[in-house]
Amino acid sequence: MPTILRRVVLALLTLTVLSIIIGFVFLKFVVHKIASNEQPPQLAYNPQSAPDLVYRTLDGVPLHLSSTKGKVVFLDLWGTWCIQCIAEMPTVQKLYDHYRNDPNVEFLIVSRMDSPTAVRSYARRNHLNLPFYLTHDDDIPPSMQLHQFPSTFLYDRDGRMVAKHTAAADWSAPSVIAFIDQLKSR
């Protein structure tokens, strides 16, 4: 290979590697910036009938939201491609850890438009041990009004949607725990 061609190839490779590094650093900065500005969600008890969402295990087994009746349900619709979702996930993990052994609280961390491999890889890289599931656009009822990610829904023991929050939030805040505890006692 001529010397000039080698220099051009080396320069292009160097620029590519630098671009990847800069992009990664920028993404980490943006995620950190969003996470540092997270506030607890403003949750108000507003019971409504809930549509029956279909979601799947990472192995493809279909499940229904209606099967969780009798439990308080924390449903987070997110994606591995969503920066706000990524930013809030550590606080979702903390909330899950708080209720991990509580049989009256169910967590459904449902990824939209991701493959099982992408979700498993994301969870492994970020040391998350949440109950991850998948769904597709055609499985999401229009009445859920899903316009932004992340979208988080809380359901009472009767299966009614009682709160909805869109955008990143600090889910580990004491006010969230108090809200879930109130739902458990209703």
Mean pLDDT of 22-46: 60
Q: Has residue 49 been placed in a domain?
A: no
Question: Which of the four pLDDT bands, split at 50, 70 and 90, describes residue 64?
Answer: very high
Residue spans of alpha helices (H) in the chain: 3-36, 83-99, 116-125, 174-185
Q: Has residue 25 been placed in a domain?
A: no
Residue 10 pLDDT > 80? no
Task: For residue 30, give the 3-state DSSP assignment.
Answer: helix
The structural domain count of the chain equals 1
Q: Are the C-beta atoms of 14 and 22 separated by less than 8 Å?
A: no
DSSP state of 89: H
Q: Has residue 134 been placed in a domain?
A: yes
Query: In which domain, by residue range, is 101 found?
Result: 54-185
pLDDT at site 30: 47
**Which comes out higher in pLDDT, residue 157 or 10?**
157
pLDDT at site 12: 67
Q: Has residue 45 been placed in a domain?
A: no
Residue 25 pLDDT > 50? no
Listed in sequence order, the residues at least 6 apart from 124 whose beta carbon sits closer than 8 Å to its beta carbon are: none
- Closest C-alpha among 9, 51, 13 to residue 145: 51
Q: Has residue 109 been placed in a domain?
A: yes
Residue 57, CA distances (Å) to 31, 60, 61, 84, 85 in order: 27, 5, 5, 23, 19
pLDDT at site 85: 94
Q: What is the CATH number of the domain that holds 75?
A: 3.40.30.10
